[in-house]
Structure 1
Amino acid sequence: MTKRYLPLFSLLSIFAISSVIPQYALAAGANLECKMHFKTTSWSAIYKHVEGGGLVTCTDGSSMHVKITARGVGLTAGKFHIDNGVGTFTDVHHIDDVLGSYAQGEANAGLGKSGSAQVLTKGAVSLALAGSGHGVDLGVSVGKFTISRVK
């Protein structure tokens, strides 16, 4: 009678082991380091509008050109551009994980040469942005920062 249940026990054991392996593989894959070098221009008058582009590169050798757009509302006014921005992503499994919309909250004040830094989130993926540029920018806004693949 025990021989009769042996195939069933073996099948259940294989299923249990195989369901655990992908979880470990996903956790190990989250160590992919990706950076984005970008340029943006923005203007705001209550409504904030940002456009630009960049290049995302990862430690596995993958890379892709991206388009950056951001829209937001708040008490803002000004015109600003970032020439040498750098973004660092965390919790990335594959380069495509960087694509999508990130929640954004921002407070800034700049006149002439100035810098910008912020941290954005999209689920488990986070993006820390830093850059310097020129312009006039004053205000507080909330919105959406979107990264899409250049077609």
Structure 2
Amino acid sequence: MIKRTFGLAALVLACAGAATMMPAGQARATDAKVDCHLVYNLSGWSLIYKHAEGTGTITCENGQKANVKIEVVGGGLTAGKYRINNGKGEISDVHDISDVFGDYAQAGAEAGVVKSSSAQVLTKGTTSLALAGTGEGVNLGVSVGKFTITRR
């Protein structure tokens, strides 16, 4: 009985010591999750290769804000030319605005003539980006690629 109690006490002390040695940044990494909102304009074209560029603004619930550049590249069985005005994006599972920058995996099917709309969910690690927008153009096909957000 004494050996079990001593062993349990040693385990508790070891865990407590490890917790106090953890850097503060790691301890807070799982604390607050922040949602950010993206408003963007995007135009592009595709003919097997897909390319689009645009700009936008990201505003986070914690008050952080950034003007951004957006680039979409990829390929697939696609053809068309399109423009999205005042698209909206919701970015979740971030701790800081710096988490939103980088490459998001993208895959989608597109179909639209003159007035069209699109919606898709992209991922970058544990960060998710849900996009929705309406615009004009002609686009048809299936593609994969990357959606990149950088500071402007």
| Equivalent residue pairs, number | 141
Counterpart residue number, 1:43: 45
Q: What is the TM-score with the length of structure 2 in the denominator?
A: 0.85
- Does residue 25 in structure 1 map to residue 4 in structure 2? no
Runs (5+) with no aligned partner, structure 1: 1-9
Alignment of 1:1-151 (within 5 A): 13-19=16-22, 22-30=25-33, 32-150=34-152
Counterpart residue number, 1:5: none
Runs (5+) with no aligned partner, structure 2: 1-12
Q: What is the TM-score with the length of structure 1 in the denominator?
A: 0.86
Deviation of 1:29 after TM superposition, in Å, equals 2.4
Calculate percent identity across the aligned residue pairs: 51
CA RMSD of superposed structures (Å): 2.1
Deviation of 1:19 after TM superposition, in Å, equals 2.2
- Alpha-carbon distance in structure 2 between the residues aligned to 1:12 and 1:114: 56
Moved over 3 A (4+): 10-15, 20-24
Matched to 1:27, the amino acid is T
* Counterpart secondary structure, 1:17: helix
